[in-house]
Amino acid sequence: MPAGQTMQERTDSMSEQKQSQTTGLPAGIQVPDTMAIIMDGNGRWAKKRGLPRTAGHKKGADTIHTIGLEANRLGVKKLILYAFSTENWKRPEDEVGYLCKLPGLFFDRYIRDLMNNNIRVTFAGELGRFPDSTQKVIRRAVEQTEDNTGLELCIAINYGARRELLLAAQKYAEDVRNGRENNVTEEEFSKYLFVPEEVDLLIRTSGEERISNFLLWQLAYSELIFTPTAWPDFDESSLRECITEYNHRERRFGGVKA
């Protein structure tokens, strides 16, 4: 034992070294419980390579698989991925059509991996506007994985944060009309949202630096990281770099650190 080092300090040091070897993260790094990613850059990635935008979305779906497995391995509890916004319906018809088919392609290919890795699938948003086939695929994935206890992989699909807040307010108002006392706390109100948890870390890929109507309530005290890497090129090392950067931030939640 090095001079001046207590048994507890030696134990802590060995534990940190073991964590580093296991996760690939620097020793002592804290992995955020809840993360969110705006998966941006599929179209630009494809255009740069002379490919149709749909090729970028296909490669981006493969990245969901890669990052989902890595987040699960690192011990993230919930990962929320912005897959399709309420504004994405404005895109060209053929691109929207492909995006509607993509959940089927993704889960047909990767559902076994998700099951084998104990990953639970959920969704945030309104499925009703999608074709029945798309809705069935997503609901089936949710049902198949509902007993898994690892990472919660939440797909935000036909999701918009303003719409989420509006629907939550309407649900709360309905409960008040039905006899609930009008004294809701912030914690109680969050349960009316698609995503009740606060987000520790938000990552946006491909260089844009805006929130784009995503998780406005949940991001109140999140750390934000904007990376120039396009989503199809975002890999396990990219995720670990973002988590390491997150650990360099000082989170005070409006207070003053002593």
Q: Is residue 211 part of a domain?
A: yes
d(CA 32, CA 95): 34
As annotated, the binding site includes: 40-45, 53, 57, 85-87, 89, 91, 204, 210-212, 223
Q: Name the region of 212 (left: φ>0; alpha: ψ -120 to 50; beta: rest).
A: left
- Domain around 170: 30-245
Tell me: the pLDDT tens digits for 213-224?
999 999 999 999
In this model, does residue 22 exceed pLDDT 90? no
Per-residue pLDDT of 157-192, as tens digits, reads 999 999 999 999 999 999 999 999 999 999 999 999
Domains held by the chain: number: 1
Q: Are 227 and 234 in contact (CB under 8 A)?
A: yes
Q: How far apart are CA 93 and CA 99, in angstroms?
A: 10
Residue 12 burial by Cβ neighbours in a 10 Å radius (0-12, 13-18, 19+): middle
Question: CATH number, domain at 183?
Answer: 3.40.1180.10
pLDDT at residue 257, rounded to an integer: 67
For residue 101, being part of any structural domain is answered with: yes
- Asked, for residue 258, whether it belongs to a domain, the answer is no
**Model pLDDT for residues 29-40, shown as the tens digit of each residue:** 999 999 999 999
157 bridge partner residues: 84
Residue 113: inside a domain: yes
pLDDT band for position 253 (cuts 50, 70, 90): low
Whether residue 14 is predicted with pLDDT greater than 50 in this model: the reply is no
The pLDDT tens digits of the residues spanning 104-144 come to 999 999 999 999 999 999 999 999 999 999 999 999 999 99
Q: Average pLDDT for residues 182-210, to the nearest whole number?
A: 97
Q: Is 199 left (phi over 0), alpha (psi -120 to 50) or beta?
A: beta
Indicate whether 20 belongs to any domain: no
Q: Is residue 17 part of a domain?
A: no
pLDDT of residue 4 exceeding 70, the answer is no
Residues of each annotated binding site for Mg(2+): 40, 223
Residues tagged active-site: 40, 88
The reply to whether 250 falls in a domain is: no
Q: What is the pLDDT of residue 193?
A: 98
Name the binding residues for substrate: 41-45, 53, 57, 85-87, 89, 91, 204, 210-212
The yes-or-no verdict on residue 62 having pLDDT over 70 is: yes
Decide if 65 is inside a domain.
yes
